[in-house]
Amino acid sequence: MMTEVDYYELLGCERGADQATIKSAYRKLAMKYHPDKNGGCPDSEAKFKAVSEAYEVLKDPQKRAAYDRFGHAAFKQGMGGGGAGGGAQDFGAFSDIFESVFGEFMGGGRAGGGRRQQRRGADLRYDMEISLDTAFHGDSTEITVDVSGICDTCDGSGARPGTGAQTCPTCGGAGAVRAQQGFFVVERACPNCHGAGQIIADPCPDCRGEGRVDQTKTLTVNIPPGVDDGTRIRLSGEGEAGARGAPSGDLYIFLHVKRHSLFERSGTTLHARAPISFTTAALGGEIAIPGLDGEDHVIKIPAGTQSGREIRKRGAGMPVLQGRGRGDMVVHLEVETPRKLSAKQRELLEAFRETETGEECPQADGFFSKIKQAMSG
């Protein structure tokens, strides 16, 4: 099953973002991934095409409205035609979607008295908790969901096998009826077929005419490397089944990344706090930080390092989602003062203190000099 990344996710925008925000996000990404700036890199070219496709849909109010309701299925064969950038040839099919989105506010039904479009099944949400290691490497995992699926007995038609749906005699298949009220004509859903345009005279015994039944599904979810907390993965057509053969909704997987024992994440940057001894801080040395990639990353500590210093290890962070390369690892050093000293260690430190001139710790010496000046003043 192909995993389709949400257009809003691709552009890094919230679903309710205004056009200015969407345009600004697209320009930044287009400049970043333009093939001319990346030496024809295939990964950059693919990313550039993806963000361009997302922008072509979200910049158009009508296409965006259809996408918000139908997702990627709005621009596939049978709904929206040949892709998001299909141009004028998609207009006829797209008008069907537009009518489905806005039809109930514009009198309902098709022009000319045709039967109303059946309403697709509801989109569903599934929250999945993953480790930071899974977010780093990616994974393919199975989930079990309880959902309304297509009835196998009637194949989703809602009618007993061997029979079929009949045109509603009340509305003539239009799914709506009209009534004259003074100078106005009021249209409402047909009370006999409830807007479907058809009735089931002999309903399926298993689904009772709905065309769908409750069932448990086992689905495979492909988690790409580099996902972050809140990343949304869409499984097309795996949501609630539509009534009587209507299209199914989608299933959205929301990822929640658990806290890691060593690292804190900020985008593609990994932050780690590392305590070091005061002798290592004074004399310099090295420490090894085990990375999520399974390698020990050596961090070189300069002599005279102060507590709170940050050392950056390039390319040791998280992978770029659907991109190329990795972020950085930032190690925050904390100098630890020893609490237990042997007699020999205490003797050596006492000898060192006797040799101090104040130049070893200029900040401390300057601080106490200011105190003396303030007191004498």
Binding site for Zn(2+), residues? 151, 154, 168, 171, 190, 193, 204, 207
Handedness of CA 144, 148, 151, 157 (dihedral sign): negative
First to last CA, the chain: 78
Task: Write down the residue that tokens 């509305």 correspond to.
Answer: 171
DSSP for residue 337:
P
Task: Write down the residue that tokens 């909704």 correspond to.
Answer: 249
CA trace torsion 142, 144, 149, 150 (10° rounding): 40
Q: Which residues are part of a known binding site?
A: 151, 154, 168, 171, 190, 193, 204, 207
**195, 176 Cβ separation under 8 angstroms:** yes
Kindly provide the b/e burial profile for residues 116-149, where b requires at least 16 CB atoms within 10 angstroms of the residue's own CB: bbbebbebbebeeebebebbbeebeeeeebebbb
**Residue 21 CB-density burial (10 A; 0-12 exposed, 13-18 middle, 19+ buried):** middle
Task: Extract the runs of DSSP E, i.e. beta strands, from the chain.
Answer: 4-5, 124-130, 139-150, 166-167, 176-181, 184-189, 198-199, 212-223, 232-235, 251-257, 263-266, 269-277, 285-290, 296-301, 310-313, 329-336
Pairing of strands 329-336, 269-277: parallel
